[in-house]
Every structure is written in C-alpha cells, then in structure tokens.
Structure 1
Amino acid sequence: MGSHYNNEANRDEETSPPVSPLSQSFNSSIVSFIVHVIFELETPITELETLDFLRTHLLPVNTRFSSIMERNKNGVLRWKRVGISVEDHLIVPTFPDGLTRKGYDEMLREYLSKIGCKNFSQEKPLWEVHLVKYPSMKGACTMIFKFSHALGDGYSFMRVFFKCCGRADNPSLPLTFPQLSLIKTQQQDHGIIGLGKKLFGLMGKCINTSYDLIETMFRTSFLEDRPSAIRYSGTSTELFKPFSVYSVTISLERVKQVRTKLGATVNDVIIGLISYMIHLYMERKKKLMEQYGEAADGLMMDSITNGASNMTICVMLNTRIFKGSKNLEDMIKAEAWGNRSSLVFAKLPTFPNDEQVNPLDFITKAKNTMDKKKNSMIFYLIDSILSTATRMKGQKGMDEMLYKSFKNASTSISNLIGPKEQMAFMNHPVSSCYYFTAGVPQSAVFTSVTNMDKLMVVVTLEKGFIDTKLFTSCMDEAFENIFRAAFGDNQDKDGNEIMKKSD
C-alpha cells in the first residue's frame, strides 16, 4: 500500500503551491480536523464504479487529491504532486455474514467510530474512500468519503460530489439549492427617522464588533468554559478518542413552521435545539447521579450544576457568504478551491437547574445572540485576525490558537445546505447524506445537513465520558417538545411526521 511516485514527483519543488496557514493548522500535531461524508445508497455500487469515480471525477477536480505536504529546502511547506494509485485509497471492509439490517446498521456505526479515530498517513494524499457493501437501515450500501480539512472546506468538497450527482427523478436536470439567508435584508426608512436608525445601528455594530474582537482574542488564548457534563475537565491532549455517532432526522417543514412563529432563522432553530438537547441531558444526568448516590462526587456535581451556566458554542461558517456569493450554486461552481472557513463564538442559551423551562426560550435566546453576531463586522475581520496572528506568533502560534478555539468552548456546530431534490450519485439514488468531523478536542461535536425536506442533526459523543444512551434519548425528544410548545399537542393529528429516529 502507499503512493507510487512518478516523474512528476521530481519536478521543480518551487512550482508546487504553498500550503496555506489554515490548512497547515488543520493537519498539525495538535489539531487534525477530518471530515467524513456518508452517502447511503438505495442500490448497490460496485468497486469498479467507485474506482471510476475516483479517477474521472475526484482526481481531476484539484491537484491536492494527488499531492502531499512536503517542506522544500527553504523550510516552506508545499503541496507536492505525486503519482498515486486510486486502489490504495479505496477500502472495502468485511463484516460478519447473516446479520439483520439493524445488525449491519450497528456494525456501520461502529465502523464509523473506528475509522474516525485514525489519522492519515502523511506519506500519501490526505483522503480515502470506504465502501461498505452491506445494507443499513437506510440503504443497500454505504460510501464514506474521509478527507482532511486541510484539503479544502465543505463547499470545496460539495463541488466534487454535485458535479457527478444528478436528480434521482430526472438525471437530465440539475440539482437546485435554497437561497442563502444568513443575513436578513431590512426595510429602508428615509428622512430623519431613517438617519437616526442608521446611526443607532452603526453604534450598535461598533459595540458588537468590539465585544466580538475582545472575546475572540480571549477565547483563542486563555478564556475557557467551565467543566460540565459535556466538557471534559481533565488534561488529556489525545485527539482521537473513541466516540459514538448518532443522528436525528427532522421534518424541515416543521422546522420552518417554528422558525416563522418565532421570527427566527433555521440556524437559530438549530442552535436553540442543540442547547435544549444539552440542557435536558445535564438536568437528567444530575438526577441520575442523585438517584444512584453519586451526588457525593462533589466535583462532578459542581461541573454539571455550575458548568451549565457558562457554555460557549464554536460556530463554523464559510466566508464565501460574505465575499459576493449570492447563492449556493455560485459557491459550488466557483473555482475558489480551498479553506474559506472561520470560527465565531456564541453563548449557548442556558437555564440552569430547571428542566421544565419552555423549550422555545432556547430558540428565542439563540436568535437574540445570533442577531448580535450578524450586526457585527467580526465575520469580515477574521481573515485579518488569522493573518496577524500568524505574522506575530508564527505557524505554531496559529496552530495553538485554532486548538484553543475548540478546546476552550463546550461544543461546536457546522452545517451544510444540500439540494432540494433527491440526489443520485453515479446514477444510484441517495437515501441519506450526512457528515461528521473528528480530531477536534471536544467531547460533543455537532453537524447539520438540510437535504430535500429533511434536517439531519448529527453528533459525535466521547465514549466513557458522555452517557450516550441518555444523550441520544434527549436528542430524540428535544424537537418534539419544541414543536409541541409552539403549536400544542393537536398539530400532529393530520399524520405528518415530526421526527424520525436514526441511529
């Protein structure tokens, strides 16, 4: 196994593009940010079809898929082109014969955890594909694309997939995507009233920007959340700890109904939903400890009680949104490959020591917090902050800053917006598509994907620290509680499904 070097590997190293500071940080010794994209297909796909996809679609998209990181004689880390054999990047696992679909589904989840705990070899390009040729609860087989975040961001990878994906109902038609709606357009007022509102808004934007700048500097250096039921209090620096993967699939139409009722965005609902999940878990974990006599563990009890009042979520955003991309088609079709990722810190809505709090309050608080973030220039300043940090502290300083960004926060969330229609990957209908991340120094990491009429929220939970069974039960319950709080118990009598479980 391994890369097969050819004559291209001996070309002038100075013609190889340098690795950006952010990409270096995503593949450093203290952070190894790895993205796993999972396609569950309705019909089996063969190894030959998969290899054909890798040769004809993946490799030609960008030279990084056939490059490794290597330092030249001047110590500059560059993307060095190498000759590769795609067979070396395709892995086909073997599971026991004769299991039920549920049994194979459990094997799939264990396999995801297994490969998620392994870093890449630096001797070959930083990607691989796993073809699981066994049925799951949602498909006939599963394709797992494992990429280092150093290769590119989520919208870079989306270009790879959607260039070879068509609509399942009509392959001749292109996939379409929802319009971006991160920042709302406001109605314009004229005259003295309009001028007053603009001045007041500018003053608020300056205050919010100043606060966000200070918070970012503190968060990336010394300011950290208290230990809690989801934030480990130990000093372990191990990146790839065993974890479980779990997901819930929610009706996007129901999410939009809640969004409309509260005047929020889908992202506000997602952050509020995650906050409510964590709240339920912490309150029930505390009760279980009291019930089984574990309350004597004062340190753990203090972490659950006090840590819940000071939690921060690290929100990953793509700065293409702020650089002229008006819709997702523009972002995917653009030739701007690379990492346009940025991090924003936001307080998680919390209501300590009260399980009976109104679930809608979490979304309302999340909306207020994110409205302040949107009324700030921090999004446009992040690149400058990173560049300044690299000049002042060097690459090692930037690595540490990225590491502390995650370590000092309680959890993180990233999201992707998928197409409105069902996809067909290489003419195989896709029944489920989601992703998760690994190599982040956090015990609970969330991702979300909107696709067709569904919202899927995925979480990785550190084994041995988080009570996976309890947390996942809270996930199953959370959105139903939110929806019923918004519309009452009778809104589901028409037969529409609020939420489907998926583990």
Structure 2
Amino acid sequence: MGDTEWRREEPMSPAARLMDDIDIYVITTFGLDTPINLPVFLSGMDSALAQHPRYSCIQVSDKGLWARTTTVNVEDHIIIPTLDPSAVATDSEKVVEDYVASLSALPMPRSRPLWDFHLLNFPTSEAASTVVFRVHHSIGDGMSLMASLMTTTRLVAAATATSPATPTPVRPPTRRTGAIYEMPRPQLSAGALAFAAWVWSYFVLAWNTAVDLAFVLATIMFLSDPNTMFKRVKNKDESFHRKRFVHRSLSLDDVKCIKNVMNCSVNDVLVGVTSAAMSQYYFRKSGDPNTGEICLRSIIPVSMRPATTLQKYVNVIESDKKDDVIWGNQLGYIILPFHLTKHDDPLAYVRKAKKDLDRKKRSLEVIITNKIAEILMIFLGVKAGALIFRRGFAHTSMVFSNMVGPTEQVELFGHPVAFVAPSVYGIPEALIVHYQSYRRTIKVILSMDDNKFPDYRQLLDDFAKSLMTMKQAASRLSTSTKTD
C-alpha cells in the first residue's frame, strides 16, 4: 500500500503487544448458502469491515504503536486461490480442509493491516461456497471480533425486505456468578445465620483465589501435565507446527436437553462432552489397561467485558461512536482440570465438569490473572511476558473456549451464512477445542498439530457419540424422574 496516508498513531495495549510478539491469529471458516458474488462481496467489505479502526491499522512493533491509515484497499485483502479441479470434484471437503491448514504456515505481509479473506467458490456437503477470514489476534479478542462481525451481518429475512436491516440478534448471556462484586448482600432481617454464610462466602472466595494463583505460578515455573497424546512435545528440530482445523456440527437442542435435566449450564455440558470424548479417544488409541483417572489441564481464556457488552458494542459501533468502543483484547485466564477416565454413567462427566466450574466461579483467578499479565508486561517487557505466556501453555495440555453466536440466520456481505467455525493458531498447544453456537447448532472446532492426530475424524466422532450417549442418558433420567 505505497499510496497509503497515515492519519495518526495509537499505543498498543499490553495484550496486543503480547499477541503480536507470539504471532497468534484467529481463523474463521464461513460456509455460505450461495455461490460467492465477487462484486457484491467486495462492495460489502468496502462499506462495512474496512471502516472499523483496528482493521485499518498496522503494528509498529518496535514502538508498540498502531499506525492507522485513512484508506484500505480491500482488494489487497482478497485471495482467490487456484486449486486442482479434479481434487475439488473428488473430495471438496478435503480440499477446503487442506487449504485452511496451509494458511497456518502462510505469513501475512506486515506492510498492511493483518487480515484477509480467502474465497473458495465451490460447493461442499455443508455449503455452496466457503469464505475463510484470517485476522491477527492483536486486533481483538473473541468478543470484539464477534461484535465487529455482527455489524457486517444482517438477518436474511431483513435483507430481502424493503425495510432497514434488522440488527443481528445475539442469544442473551447468562449473568456472571461468583465474582466478588456480584456476591449476595446480607439482609438485615435474615438473621445471624445468613450473615455468617455471607461472611463465609468471602472466606471461600479468598481461599480459592489464593489456591488458584498458587497453581498458576507453579504451572509457569515447574508444574507440568503428564505426557499424553494431547500434550505438545517440544521438538528442537521443528520450530513451527502446522495446524489442521476440523469441525463437526452438534445439536444445540441436545445440549440444552442435558443442561435442563442436569440443572447446569451449557458450558458445563460442553466441558463434560469434551472430557468424555478425549477419554474415549485416549483409551482406544493408547490401549492403556489402567482406567484410573488421569488429570490434564486446560487454559480457558475468559472475556473481562461485562456479560451484556456484545449487543452494546454492536449498537455503539452502528451508531458511529467507534471511539467509545474498547477494542483489542480484554482477557483473563483460568486453568481448568480435564479428566481422562471411564464412567459407566456418561452423565458423570457433566457432574464432574459442573463441580469444577462451580469451584472456579468462586474464585477471582480470571480477574487477577488479567491484572498480573498487564503488570508483568509493563514492568518486565514484551519478551519476558511472552516467555511466561509460552511456559504456561507448554505445561498444560489444551486450550478450551466457547462463544455464543447469532440465534437466527445472518448474511455476510450479501451471502446467507450456513455455518461459522472459528479457531486460532500460533498458541503453543497441540490441541485447541472451540465451541461456536449459531442458530440451532453448535460447532465443535478442533485446531491441532497436523502430524499429531492423523485420525482426527475419529476424535470428532467421539465428540458426536459422547453427546448422543449423554442425551440418551439424560432422557432416561428425565423419564425415570417423571415416573417416580
């Protein structure tokens, strides 16, 4: 972009500088219900996506600054690859999968904003065409990127009407629990017992927080998960691990059925499904006769924004008050145990997940890790912060995340969206598990070292089978309870 005009420079946040140093990218696959109309797609990009401030910036890493340009040539960010027609005709899903995997080894030019779109204009079993959106993680976390996505989409029904576009609806988030500023206040008329319980809840909060932070520090320093097939093994001869991104659609109604029967959250169910699927895969692959519990740990990034922020961000962005939006990464982290074990009752995985997550809700781990990360970056610098970050991931086994998406079908630059499958690469983990809801389905997306899981389709099958067996067990439990 030699004719670019630079308008002003802004300081990068500590989190953005960390993401830039480690070089982490978010990569999202959109399945579309129609073939790609290139002029319509370009027009939509030009009028929507490029107007967001972070999508018009490049990183000046040595100065820790964003340099913002007044113009973005969207055609510089469009890639239409030339692929083998015979391979596309034989197995179009494999062609898409291989191409997306190749992007994890394809660098972006640092001379322009770090995002691009890859257009694969041929049908697969799930979509008429595929768009792959790749963006540097320093531009934003899942919440801010999802908010920017919401401003570039419209309801399909509204798009075909003559009335103005209807804002994309987002499933209302559940209220956060466990944080100290949301703990219940004692009623004066409730008596001494209620007051004692309230005081005790603060003691539990302080104790859990201290224990969690001790484990975080130990993990950074020396505490490492056992070596299993899920843990990344450092290879001195290989500095980069190419990633493969695969996904499977699950029924959101099935997840909610289990949630209702077990009186838990959707996240509890998803953690339980993940633990069950990984257990099945591990014991089948390893042939380990010891079916005792193996405790692994996952790092879970958690948005620090208020739970109602997503729709608020969308409204603010669409009202042209972009300067009121806090862009970038606002993340804290928790370390959550995952258990490899065999249970006769499939719902035992959900019960264990609920117990672990409820325990984490009575801790300030996510808040304090966010603040500590910022302080370390300010006083020790980016390189030291990146080293600490990498050690934390190197000593754990996986990353787990879950995002809530639109409840109704939306369109992307004039094209109805069939599915959304986001993931990341650049994080030093062999396995990343991400869930993304959209309409009445929920995608499980796996980002994995390309050479570590050659039979990854079996692992995807284990996720689907685990959910199905849990749904059947929940249905039997519900029927039994009604009969009793």
Scaled by the length of structure 2, the TM-score of the pair is: 0.87
- Distance in 1 (alpha carbons) for counterparts of 2:191 and 2:440: 43
Q: Aligned in 2, Cα 1:174/1:81: closer, same or farther, shift over 3 Å? A: closer
> Quick check: 1:96 aligned with 2:63?
no
For residue 101 of structure 1, report the CA deviation from its aligned partner.
6.8
Residue correspondence of structure 1 range 299-310 to structure 2 within 5 A: 309-310=294-295
**Shift in Å, 1:24:** 1.4
In the alignment, which residue of structure 2 is the partner of 1:293?
none
Distance 1:169 1:237, change over 3 A: farther
Cα offsets for 1:281-304 (capped at 9, x unmatched): 1100122xxxxxxxxxxxxx7xx9
Q: 1:449 aligns with which of 427, 436, 443?
A: 436
63, 74, 80: which is aligned to 2:67? 80
Alpha-carbon spacing, 1:173–1:332, altered in 2? closer, same or farther (3 Å):
closer
Distance 1:186 1:19 in 2: 34
How many residues matched? 457
Contact 1:342 1:382 in 2 (8 A): yes
SS in 2 for 1:94: coil
Q: Does 1:389 align with 2:376?
A: yes
- The 3-state SS of whatever aligns with 1:230 is coil
Counterpart residue type for residue 27 of structure 1: D
Matched, 1:115 2:115: no
> Structure 1 251/112 Cα, relative in aligned 2: closer, same or farther at 3 Å?
same
Residue in structure 2 matched with residue 26 of structure 1 by the alignment: 19
Question: Which residue, 115, 118, 123 being the options, matches 1:130?
Answer: 118
Structure 2 counterpart of 1:438: 425
Question: Is the 8 Å Cα contact of residues 153 and 338 (structure 1) preserved in structure 2?
Answer: yes
Aligned 8 A contact 1:43 1:140 in 2: yes
**1:151 aligned partner:** 139
Aligned to 1:265: 265
Range 185-194 or range 151-160, more displaced? 185-194
Separation in 2 of the partners of 1:61 and 1:404? Answer: 34
- Secondary structure at 2:82 match in 1: coil
The one-letter code matched in structure 1 to 2:55 is: F
Aligned partners of 2:392 and 2:378: how far apart in 1? 18
Alpha-carbon spacing, 1:77–1:173, altered in 2? closer, same or farther (3 Å): closer
Q: For 2:300, which of 312, 315, 322 is the aligned residue?
A: 315
For 1:216, the aligned partner's letter is: V
| Identical pairs, percent | 22
1:328 aligns with 2:310: yes
Greater displacement, 133-142 / 161-170: 161-170
- How far apart in 2 are the matches of 1:149 and 1:270? 24
- AA partner of residue 61 (structure 1): H
Match of 2:94 in 1: 106
Kindly state the Cα deviation for residue 18 of structure 1 after the two structures are TM-superposed. 1.3
What per-residue deviation string (whole Å, max 9, x for no partner) do you get for residues 31-78 of structure 1?
22111112111112222222222321112111x32222225xxx5321
Match of 1:339 in 2: 329
Deviation at 1:182, TM superposition (A): 5.3
SS of the residue aligned with 2:467? helix
Are the counterparts in 1 of residues 154 and 410 from structure 2 also a CA contact under 8 Å?
yes
- 1:290 is matched with none
The correspondence for 2:338, drawn from 341, 348, 353, is 348
Shift of 1:401: 1.8
Q: Does 1:41 align with 2:28?
A: no
Q: Which moved more, 1:331-340 or 1:194-203?
A: 331-340
SS in structure 1 of the partner of residue 10 of structure 2: coil
Partner of 1:55: 46
Q: Secondary structure at the match of 1:362?
A: helix
Deviation at 1:426, TM superposition (A): 2.5
**2:310 corresponds to which letter in structure 1?**
L
Give unpaired runs (5+ residues) of structure 2.
160-164, 317-324, 480-484
1:496 maps to none
Do structure 1's residue 201 and structure 2's residue 201 form an aligned pair?
yes
Instruction: Please list the CA deviations of residues 218-270 of structure 1 after superposition, one character each: whole Å capped at 9, or x if unmatched.
Output: 22333221210111333448564233322222221211111122221111111
| Bigger Cα displacement from structure 2, 266-275 vs 330-339 | 330-339
- Counterpart in 1 of 2:172? 179
Q: Could you tell me how far apart the structure 1 residues matched to 2:88 and 2:131 are?
A: 19
C-alpha distance after superposition, 1:392-437 (max 9, x if no partner): 4221111112222322210111222111111122332111112111
Structure 1 letter corresponding to 2:201: G
Distance 1:332 1:272, change over 3 A: farther
Separation (CA, whole Å) in 2 of partners of 1:87 and 1:226:
47
Once the two structures are overlaid, the 10-residue window that deviates more, 182-191 or 113-122, is: 182-191
Equivalent-residue separation in structure 2 for 1:173 and 1:85 (angstroms): 28
CA distance in 2, matches of 1:320, 1:453: 25
SS in 2 for 1:142: strand
Q: Over residues 463-500 of structure 1, what are the superposed CA-to-partner deviations in whole Å (9 max), with x where a residue is unaligned?
A: 32224243233223121122122224999xxxxxxxxx
Structure 1 counterpart of 2:20, one-letter code: N
Alpha-carbon distance change, 286 to 233 in structure 1, aligned in 2, over 3 angstroms? same
SS of 2:99's equivalent in the other structure is: helix
Q: Distance in 1 between matches of 2:245 and 2:370?
A: 32
Give matches, 1:421-432, under 5 Å. Answer: 421-432=408-419
Deviation at 1:102, TM superposition (A): 7.0
The AA in structure 2 aligned to 1:25 is L
Q: Secondary structure at the match of 2:295?
A: coil
CA distance in 2, matches of 1:193, 1:148: 52
Q: Does the CA contact (< 8 Å) of 2:33 and 2:417 recur in 1?
A: yes
- After superposition, the Cα gap between the structure-2 partners of 1:237 and 1:25, relative to the gap in structure 1 and judged at 3 Å, is farther
Structure 2 counterpart of 1:368: 355
Partner of 1:464: 451
Cα distance in structure 2, aligned partners of 1:478 and 1:347: 19
Mapped contact 1:313–1:410 kept (Cα < 8 A): yes
Structure 1 residue 405 corresponds to structure 2 residue 395? no
